[in-house]
Amino acid sequence: MTTFTKITTASMIALGLGAAASADELTLYTALEEEEIAAYIEAAQKAMPDTEINVLRLSTGKLGARILAEAGNPQADVIWGWAVSAMMDPQILEMLEPYEAKGVDVLPAKFRADDGKWFAPIGYMGAFCVNTARLEEKGLPMPKSWKDLENPAFKDEILMPDPNSSGTGYLHVNAVLQSMGEEAGWAQLEAIDPNMAQYTSSGSKPCKSARVGEYTVGVSVALTAMQSISEGYPLAMVFPEGGVGYELEASGLMASSDNKDAAKAFLDWTMSDEAIGLYQQYKSLITIPGVDASEAAEKAGLPADISTVLADIDFVEAAQNQTAVKATWKEKLGR
């Protein structure tokens, strides 16, 4: 048998299987975390018993590449829980259709699009991951702000994601620039640069390297920090004074969806009381007014009133300046 007969036969089989499974299917593309996805989908599936919900999970950057590559013939019905700064890319917005999900009107205006293309009831935040064992061993002071990282004692002890390859990297750079102002912000980033051991391509890697004691400070995401702390790593989660960057996890309806009823039903579900109840178990950042974050998050060192540690972020401006800021970063700090 030649390869080609084989390929044809196999694809026929695969095709047959595919055709048999399509009753009422809904395909979600998401960058949410594995654990929460499992819980949300279990509940959503119960609420929508006639629809088979399929989920593809990829990290923020890879999901973006996938969606853009598929732009000619999009496969997803809904983009669910994806970084809003990525969502606001004009190439992506073009693929979305405005939809006002039920209950979305409780969200403050800055957490949803004016034209209704996306809304974000949840989000995640950045944090410094500080390895306390290594901190002690090296006799370093606990850093409390970006300024503290200027201390020459931290030379080659800090990791941070590169904003040109990581959304988390841009989250931090943007927060520093927006909270300190352009000029002071760039000066701050340049002052830390000599201490920076590496700019990584992944947003969670600085925390993962810090927790196993390769470096002392990883500028990274709070979720990885909280998880590492609960696993028992000697790690402290620090929110820099003056405000830490955060990112909204936005959802939107794909204009190309051929199952819009189910897609809309799912988007409605993400704003339902049931969904909000689950957010309180898993999310550190909930943008719905009057809804507190999870207890677990509090245990890991998150303040009860989270707004006290968040930087004041303008997401529209952040999205608009993105290209220019990344280019400037590359010019000033790129290695």
Q: Which of residues 97-116 bind another protein (CB under 8 A)?
A: none
Please give the structure tokens belonging to residue 260: 């819009």
Hey, which residues between 111 and 140 contact another protein (CB under 8 A)?
A: 133-134
Which residues fall within 8 angstroms of residue 122, CB to CB, at 6 or more apart?
81, 248, 249, 279, 283, 285, 286, 287
User: Which window, 110-118, 140-148, 229-237, 288-296, contacts another protein (CB under 8 A)?
Assistant: 229-237
Which residues fall within 8 angstroms of residue 43, CB to CB, at 6 or more apart?
274, 275, 278
Q: How far apart are CA 73 and CA 21, in angstroms?
A: 20
Q: Smallest gap, in angstroms, from Cβ of residue 223 to another protein?
A: 7
Hey, which residues between 197 and 216 contact another protein (CB under 8 A)?
A: 197-202, 204, 207-208, 212-215
Q: How far apart are CA 112 and CA 92, in angstroms?
A: 16
Nearer to another protein, 179 or 227 (CB): 227
Nearer to another protein, 56 or 191 (CB): 56
Nearer to another protein, 15 or 184 (CB): 15
Q: Smallest gap, in angstroms, from Cβ of residue 59 to another protein?
A: 5
The answer to whether 164 touches 331, Cβ cutoff 8 Å, is no
Closest CA to 66 of 50, 44, 82: 82
User: Which window, 3-11, 118-126, 183-191, 263-271, contacts another protein (CB under 8 A)?
Assistant: 3-11
Nearer to another protein, 121 or 167 (CB): 167
How would DSSP label each residue in 59-105?
Answer: -HHHHHHHHHHTTTS---SEEEEEEHHHHTSHHHHTTEE----TTGG
How far is the CA of 235 from the CAs of 115, 139, 197, in angstroms? 42, 15, 19
- Candidates 73, 290, 312, 324; binder of another protein (CB under 8 A) is 73
Check residue 172 for interaction with another protein (CB under 8 A). no
The 8-class DSSP code of residue 246 comes to E
Which residues fall within 8 angstroms of residue 106, CB to CB, at 6 or more apart?
271, 288, 289
Determine which helix (DSSP H) or strand (DSSP E) holds 330, and give its type and residue range: helix 315-333
User: Which window, 83-91, 257-265, 278-286, 291-299, contacts another protein (CB under 8 A)?
Assistant: 83-91
- Candidates 27, 51, 284, 328; binder of another protein (CB under 8 A) is 27
Nearer to another protein, 234 or 301 (CB): 234
β pairing state of 78-83 and 25-30: parallel
Binding-residue pattern over the window 308 to 327 for another protein, x denoting contact by CB under 8 A: ---------------x--x-
Q: Smallest gap, in angstroms, from Cβ of residue 112 to another protein?
A: 22
Binding-residue pattern over the window 261 to 290 for another protein, x denoting contact by CB under 8 A: ------------------------------
- Candidates 20, 22, 23, 69; binder of another protein (CB under 8 A) is 69
Q: Smallest gap, in angstroms, from Cβ of residue 220 to another protein?
A: 10
Nearer to another protein, 104 or 318 (CB): 318
CB burial of residue 299 (10 Å; 0-12, 13-18, 19+):
exposed
